A and B are shown apart, each in its own frame.
Chain A
Amino acid sequence: MSILIYAESAEGKFKKVAFELASYAKNVAETLGTSVTAITINTNDVSELSDYGVDKVLKVNNPKLAGFTAKAYADAIKQAAQKENSQVIILSSTTDSLYLAPLVSISLEAGFASNVVGLPQKLSPFQVKRNGFSNKAFVTTEITTPIKVLSISKNSYGIFENKSSLAEEDFNPSIEETDFGVKVVSVEKASGKVTIADADIVVSAGRGLKGPENWGMIEELATVLGAATACSKPVSDLGWRPHGEHVGQTGKPVAANLYIAIGVSGAIQHIAGINSSKVKVVINTDPEAPFFKVADYGVVGDAFEIVPKLIEKLKSFKANN
């Protein structure tokens, strides 16, 4: 009956979302009077899970699963859920987890709710609150099947320490050849850069920057804050910045703790993609820019004067804190 989470890792180390899932699952498990089991796939050291309330870990170590394969990973998670007789399976909102979640839900004949924000509102019937309508509304969804699959919106719950004693167990799910119908040929990934998906802070800039040659200060600001860089759609359409940095409705979604928008007017499509970020700061010369309506903090003024000053001030702030 244990609650099952898939604790994701990259290159053998846990992603931060794994700890958010563990914290969330622990809370639900305590209310239900049950325990939390995690499944890990090719993760080297799983002991950190005991800091966040996980009671048991099923460790899968299989060289066939070295690269992400949605069907094979979904198959492993399904078998873990069956082994643990789990009624609630909790996944994250990473690109990989959103890929495999519907496959898991079909194989377990489970109802699936994605983009879940906050703890279940009720456990019987099982109701959760989700983000919908591109963050313009919340939807309360009831999952009516005995087995439930949830994917939790990043940063919507938080990470809470909760020491537990962790039982480790090796787990060898049977993986079929038919799980490998899609084969990875190559991966293109910028190394050493904070990705928009993983970042707690995102620094984004728009056409107000006037040209690609002016991005040096944006990158420097991001480095000082340990942030990822992003851009508005016109900037990526103009080829000033790579497509992978485009955030907004047709670009990447952002659910950061802090989103700083510099020289971005705040078109509704842009806001739709970034609005689940917790704190939004806007720097813009135009006090009428629509972004000020959705921002928490704003500075009206010229980015070319403000950003270099901000970098200097943040450097001395970081040195003293």
Chain B
Amino acid sequence: MNILVCISHVPDTTSKINFTDNDTLFDTNGVQFVINPNDEFGLTRAIWFQEQQGANVTVVNVGGPETEPTLRKALAIGANEAIRVNANPTDGFFVAKQLAEVIKNGNYDLVIAGKESLDYNGGMVPGMIAGLLGFNFINSCVALTIEGNSVTASREIDGGKEIVNSQLPLIIGGQKGLVEEKDLRIPNMRGIMTARTKVLTIIEPVGGESKTATVKFEKPAPKSAVKLVSADNLDELISLLHNEAKVI
């Protein structure tokens, strides 16, 4: 089984978010970048398929040379090889288009992407790839097992989950649940050393089209200070929620 894991290179959650160039560019100054958490759950599940079922795992990212440490980290965790599509990811459609091209040329049975990235929170790339390629598609996937070509998976729904069956080739939008937090791996020294010699192929993008453009960024207005209510005066809290906030 050939698995492709799509990796997004995103600012760590604890990063301070700032913008430059008149609020039109994300300021990467001092920002720590990581594998997008939803992608990392998928990558870890892919490594499980590699170890238990002999799958071959390729990771791919659409981005400039600055994203290579993130791909190397995925290799250190255990992916067999990596691909970087050498382009600035201008929007979700552009990224999906590039990834669909990689998939068409690569003979993959299973494509795993995070259901959403932490930076733009678009939540559209896995679905768009499915739309472009006509693959079976399971979003918000929280469990995945494969035997031969048969797939059994769970999908999170509002208020519960759904068990579904499908067939390879398949693309999933993954999240926590594919593996648990405790299953995530920190690369060890041996992993880091072997990652240096694993193949990282750089390919050039196809067609430059985007369907959306980022015009500007804006930070929310600073929040007014919390109104503290005494624990002995909960009637005041209820009155504030009723009369001021109007939420009860």
Contact = CB atoms under 8 A, between A and B. Distances in A.
B164 A182 contact: yes
B241 A279 contact: yes
Contacts of B138: 182
B211 A103 contact: no
B214 A139 contact: yes
B33 interface: no
B6 to A, nearest CB: 14
A310 B237 CA distance: 9
A113 B121 CA distance: 10
A203 B197 CA distance: 50
Contact of A137 (B13, B19, B226): B19
B211 A249 contact: no
A115 B121 contact: yes
A61 interface: no
A133 B214 contact: no
Contacts of B49: none
Given A184-B163, A197-B159, A281-B241, A102 B215 contact: no
A300 B228 contact: yes
Given A99-B139, A102-B131, A190 B231 contact: no
B101 to A, nearest CB: 14
Interface residues of B, number: 79
B177 interface: yes
A321 B159 contact: no
A115 B116 CA distance: 11
A297 B212 contact: no
Contacts of B234: 299, 306, 309-310, 313
Interface stretch (A28-36, A47-55, A104-112, A167-175): A104-112
A138 B217 contact: yes
Interface string A277-321: 011011000000000111111111110011001100110010001
Contacts of B165: 182-183, 185
A103 B140 contact: no
B217 A137 contact: yes
Contacts of B228: 297-300
Contacts of B204: none
A45 interface: no
Interface string B198-239: 000000000000111111111110010011111100110110
A184 B175 contact: no
B161 to A, nearest CB: 5
A142 B124 CA distance: 16
Contacts of B13: 134, 249, 268-269, 272
Nearest to A282: B226
A186 interface: yes
B242 interface: yes
Interface in B151-172: 152, 156-167
Interface in B1-20: 11, 13-14, 17, 19
B186 interface: no
Interface string B59-70: 000000000000
B121 A134 contact: yes
A95 B160 CA distance: 11
A112 B211 contact: yes
B42 interface: no
Interface in A107-123: 107, 109-115
A315 to B, nearest CB: 11
A62 B219 CA distance: 45
B240 interface: yes
Interface string B103-147: 000000000000000111111111110111010111110000000
B211 A111 contact: yes
Interface string A135-178: 11111111111000000000000000000000000000000001
B124 A144 contact: no
Interface in A232-261: 233, 237, 243-244, 249-251, 257-258
A197 B156 CA distance: 12
A184 B157 CA distance: 12
A95 B241 contact: no
A12 B103 CA distance: 39
A71 interface: yes
Contacts of A244: 156, 159-161
Given A134-B121, A297-B237, 15 more contacts: A71-B137, A95-B156, A98-B123, A106-B131, A136-B17, A137-B219, A141-B212, A142-B212, A183-B164, A185-B165, A186-B162, A195-B158, A198-B158, A225-B248, A299-B234
The 7 closest A-B pairs by CB, nearest first: A102-B127, A106-B131, A195-B159, A189-B160, A111-B211, A301-B231, A197-B158
Interface of B: 11, 13-14, 17, 19, 37-38, 41, 91-93, 96, 118-128, 130-132, 134, 136-140, 152, 156-167, 173, 175-177, 181-182, 210-220, 223, 226-231, 234-235, 237-238, 240-242, 245, 247-248
11 contacts: A103-B131, A132-B120, A137-B219, A139-B217, A140-B214, A185-B163, A187-B161, A195-B158, A278-B247, A293-B226, A313-B238
